[in-house]
Structure 1
Amino acid sequence: MPLIISGSLVEPTTRAALGAIDVDGGSTPQQRALLGALVEHLWKRPDLDLDNLDPLSPSLAAAAITQPEHRRRFLWMVAALELCRRPISPAQIDRINEYAVAFETEDVTLEIARTWLNEGADRAQLDILRFFRGWHSEHEETQLLARKVHAQSPDEQMLELFESFEDLPEGTLGREFLEFHTRNEFELPGLDPERNILRTVFCCHDMNHVITGYEPTPAGEIALAAMSFAAGRCEPTWAGLLLSMAYHEGRLTHHDEPVPLETTLSDPAAVELLGEAFDRGSECSSNFTFADHLSMADWQLSKVRAHYNITPLRLGLSQP
């Protein structure tokens, strides 16, 4: 499905998704923005007009989408669409559950919005993190996987490594990594003991910000996840996209803050950036997301981008 979808499944998948978000008077602009970006830029079907497609009911969708792995990944996609809805709707949650029942498929992603609605954001985060945990190691920096660090202390060895990047020539990946943190006033991964458990994930994630040129704004975070998914076309990068949608579009927080009706994908510029991200990822020669970034720290950033055929940003939020 969202991984590598065959031409014959694009249209029924799109129609089934339209059926899954057709509640409470219809789909929302944010939901249609995400679905439209998937259809046009990831699946390369700009000829499919969402306004002129007939939605598929759960039973018809089950007849069209028959493989268990395709059904499961379809539910991941509509879980992302569900998190785009403003406000969170019981009818939306129930509608997607009808597709899960018709597909005879259960998945933790289906619990995220229901838990959020009934038990609050803190509990919903447990669901999204439980889903993501299955691919946690793929999102860690390769060279750092085997290293252990005391939970109550900064990772001095990692910080020494980052400090050595200051001696690299300007324009190298390592120097740009430091510039990224300085420019955004971010602590380097490994400095805060309370976040040490995720230090290898943050290192990998921030390297990908530098390589792709997306800044850490909500729109930039969603674009980075979309580009990573399009480049990787695998379950770990799809999990990353769903996680990004939950936090940066769904605004899943620790504090049960009210979610505004106008969110990231309410902005046409953010939607355009998302579409471009799918295009850029599709053009990559291989998956940069889980590369051994530290081994390329002394490469010029331009060489890293050329190695993965990462095309320049046409829109904003670019880095050097």
Structure 2
Amino acid sequence: MDKAALQLELEGDVLAVCRKMIDHSAVDTTTDYIRRYESYFLSLQEKHGPESFNHGARQYDEQFFKILESCSSMHKETLGRKFAEFYKRNGMKIPTKDSINPGYYVCHDMNHIIAGYEPTGIGEICLGAFKLGMNDSDANWMASLTNFLIHEAGIFKPGHNVQYEPLGADGDPFDGLEGKRGVMTLDGAPEMLADAFNRGMNCSKDFSTIDHLELATMPLAQIREEYNVSPPLKGVADSSLCW
């Protein structure tokens, strides 16, 4: 473990969670992970409006939710319209004032759209790698680890009454693998992961935690050009509609 951690340059909470996965039960690992991950919520939320916080979460004003509500009526080529379509085709409800951590999910899903990955198992893992390529931060490491804990290690399952199940191409949250093997065993998955790292590193700057709603009325193609976001590699593992 120590040699692998050195080679991967793992340290801090990421290394602590990985060590716990080796020696403890899924329940213990999940509990420890969630406790650690909560401290990164603020840095992974939508940066919109004044810096107002409450119990570790940003507070969002009426304008924030009005923009979200208007996304479906924006021009079809805009980031906002693509955001609304992303939610609709994946059976999700756009966050409202009653949602838990709405800014976290808006930020996360705006990144899905700009990077070009659907919320499938491999899509989530690739998005985590893409963000790490743009910004090798502790928060992005923890977010990326989340995807591997869910879709590769199978430590815990996503989704409950205020979230959603990230569905695979056949409607199964684990891409039809039924917990018998990880997402990375799917045809084309390793190549897609490597491509995601490279795409992120080739971006001109980090767009992962900007105020995405400020860009909602801009054409998605223009945003991708500004940040030098190249088309993703597609494989059997992915049925993405995001690009």
Query: What TM-score, normalized by structure 2, do the two folds share?
Result: 0.77
Say which of 139, 149, 152 aligns to 1:246.
149
Give the partner amino acid of 2:78.
Answer: T
1:172-251 alignment, distance < 5 Å:
172-190=78-96, 193=98, 196-251=99-154
* CA displacement, residues 23-67 of structure 1 (integer Å, 9 cap, x when unaligned): xxxxxxxxxxxxxxxxxxxxxxxxxxxxxxxxxxxxxx7xxx8xx
* CA displacement, residues 244-283 of structure 1 (integer Å, 9 cap, x when unaligned): 111221223269xxx8342201113111111110111111
Distance in 2, matches of 1:125 and 1:297, equals: 35
Give the partner amino acid of 1:302.
Answer: A
* Structure 2 alignment gaps of length 5 or more: 56-60, 159-177
What corresponds to 1:82 in structure 2? none
Q: Are 2:48 and 2:64, in contact at CA under 8 Å, matched by a contact in 1?
A: no
What corresponds to 2:48 in structure 1? 143
* CA displacement, residues 50-95 of structure 1 (integer Å, 9 cap, x when unaligned): xxxxxxxxxxx7xxx8xxxx5626x83xx5xxxxxxxxxxxxxxxx
Distance of aligned partners of 1:111 and 1:308 in 2 relative to their CA distance in 1, 3 Å threshold: same
Give the partner amino acid of 1:168.
Answer: M
Q: Does 1:111 align with 2:20?
A: yes
Instruction: Report deviation, 1:179.
Output: 0.5
Query: What TM-score, normalized by structure 1, do the two folds share?
Result: 0.59
Larger relative contact order (C-alpha < 8 A, sep ≥ 6)? 2
Instruction: Report deviation, 1:237.
Output: 1.1
Identity of paired residues, percent? 29
Distance of aligned partners of 1:108 and 1:264 in 2 relative to their CA distance in 1, 3 Å threshold: closer
Say which of 184, 194, 197 aligns to 1:275.
194
Distance in 2, matches of 1:215 and 1:302, equals: 17
What corresponds to 1:86 in structure 2? none
What value does the CA root-mean-square deviation take over the aligned residues?
Answer: 3.0
1:297-308 alignment, distance < 5 Å:
297-308=216-227
What corresponds to 1:284 in structure 2? 203
Distance in 2, matches of 1:71 and 1:208, equals: 24
Say which SS state the counterpart of residue 187 (structure 1) adopts. coil
Instruction: Report deviation, 1:124.
Output: 2.6
Q: Are 1:142 and 1:292, in contact at CA under 8 Å, matched by a contact in 2?
A: yes
Instruction: Report deviation, 1:158.
Output: 4.6
What corresponds to 2:3 in structure 1? 16
Give the partner amino acid of 1:128.
Answer: Y
Instruction: Report deviation, 1:109.
Output: 4.5
Q: Are 2:113 and 2:242, in contact at CA under 8 Å, matched by a contact in 1?
A: yes
Give the partner amino acid of 2:199.
Answer: R
Instruction: Report deviation, 1:243.
Output: 1.5
Q: Are 1:109 and 1:127, in contact at CA under 8 Å, matched by a contact in 2?
A: no
Say which of 130, 136, 141 aligns to 2:35.
130
Which of structures 1 and 2 has the bigger CA Rg?
A: 1
Say which SS state the counterpart of residue 273 (structure 1) adopts. helix
Instruction: Report deviation, 1:291.
Output: 1.4
What corresponds to 2:58 in structure 1? none
Q: Are 2:125 and 2:147, in contact at CA under 8 Å, matched by a contact in 1?
A: yes
